[in-house]
Amino acid sequence: MLIINPGSTSTKIAVYDDDKPLFTEVLRHSAEDLAGFRNVADQFTFRRDLIVAALEAHGVELSSLAAVVGRGGLLRPIPGGTYRVSAAMLDELSRAVHGEHASNLGALLAHEIAQSAGGVSAFIVDPVVVDELEPEARLTGLPEMPRRSVFHALNQKAVARRAAADLGRRYEDLNLIVVHLGGGVTIGAHRHGRVVDVNNGLDGDGPMSPERSGALPTLGLIHLAFSWRHTLREIGRMLVGEGGFVAHLGTNDARQVEARIAAGDEQARLVYESLAYQVAKEVGRAAVALDGRVDRIVITGGLAHSELLTGWIADQVNWIAPVVVYPGEDEMGALAAGALRVLRGEEPALNYEEARV
């Protein structure tokens, strides 16, 4: 299987033989490389040619592929699972109907290369728009502003399955709280294989993160927006990109924060402890969504490499359930695993046109 994961400045590719990676490569794209493209969709041919050249360099014949798997992009809300790339999906992603993002290219590239490989299957797996929220989790105090499900679905679902396997159980039989700690922070309540509640870290719901503000006092944000001291774009950057650690400490690098703590910087310690506290509170909210019946609390993501941070979080939530830590994220492996479950007949491939939340 060929796995394709487009990012804003790179395209990660990998070839898997069943669940074993044969190679992984990051094709990097400089600002100069991308400067001539008006939008993400225009980068299609450029990125496709780089992928095909990389496969040739590794001696991988297109005819040897059984499937091509792309990172899911910004689609309409859909339940989790592995989806066959379809005409409707390709149309919406190429026109950026639901928003523009580099991941929109995943399905487009997978489809094109799958066709060149003789019409093999093309899939996407658990895109960020996975929506399995319970009805009561959607409502806010304003009907015009329901909560949206946008989170690290691919890694959360993959790590939840890993935790279930380590317990000798099925993901669909467990209640899990999964904490993704990265540039964004999302905490999902997984009830028997469905994420019934999760904070939308992109929209400013939940804890702060290294570069996001997290939830803010609403009226205070309104006053800031109407103070005319900042443009809409500037406020957007304050919330996503220049919030959290960046706003408080001038860095989004947790390693620098920990070094400052070790050197006696009390402000750095306060900010780091506050992140742990906010995450712990969100875990408590997720426990309510699971009626207090939680089999495991699972911590994952890049920041999960920090034993200091995960230790603080565990100390505050281990009365709810045992805590396990799986540092980092393996998006390529998660994409491969999703397709492999379909190819092995363990679960059906889903149809985007028929999927409804």
The per-residue pLDDT string of the chain (357 residues; one tens digit each, 9 = 90 and over) reads 999 999 888 999 999 999 999 999 999 998 889 989 999 999 999 999 999 999 999 999 999 999 999 999 999 999 999 999 999 999 999 999 998 889 999 999 999 999 999 999 999 999 989 999 999 999 999 999 999 998 999 999 999 999 999 999 999 999 999 999 998 999 999 999 999 999 998 888 999 999 999 999 999 999 999 998 999 999 999 998 899 999 999 999 999 999 999 999 999 999 999 999 999 999 999 999 999 999 999 999 999 999 999 999 999 999 999 999 999 989 999 999 999 999 999 999 999 999 988
Q: Give the residue extent of every domain in the chain.
A: 2-131+332-343, 153-328
Helix axes 254-262, 307-317, angle to 10 degrees: 90
In the prediction, which pLDDT does 203 show? 85
Cα–Cα distance measured from residue 85 to residue 332, given in angstroms and rounded to the nearest whole number: 18
Contacts of 37 (CB under 8 A, 6+ apart): 43, 46
Whether the Cβ atoms of residue 182 and residue 152 lie closer than 8 Å to each other:
yes
Q: What DSSP character marks residue 349?
A: P
The domain defined by 153-328 folds into: Nucleotidyltransferase; domain 5 (3.30.420)
CATH 3.30.420.40 fits 2-131+332-343, yes or no: yes
In the prediction, which pLDDT does 268 show? 98
Check for a shared fold between 2-131+332-343 and 153-328.
yes
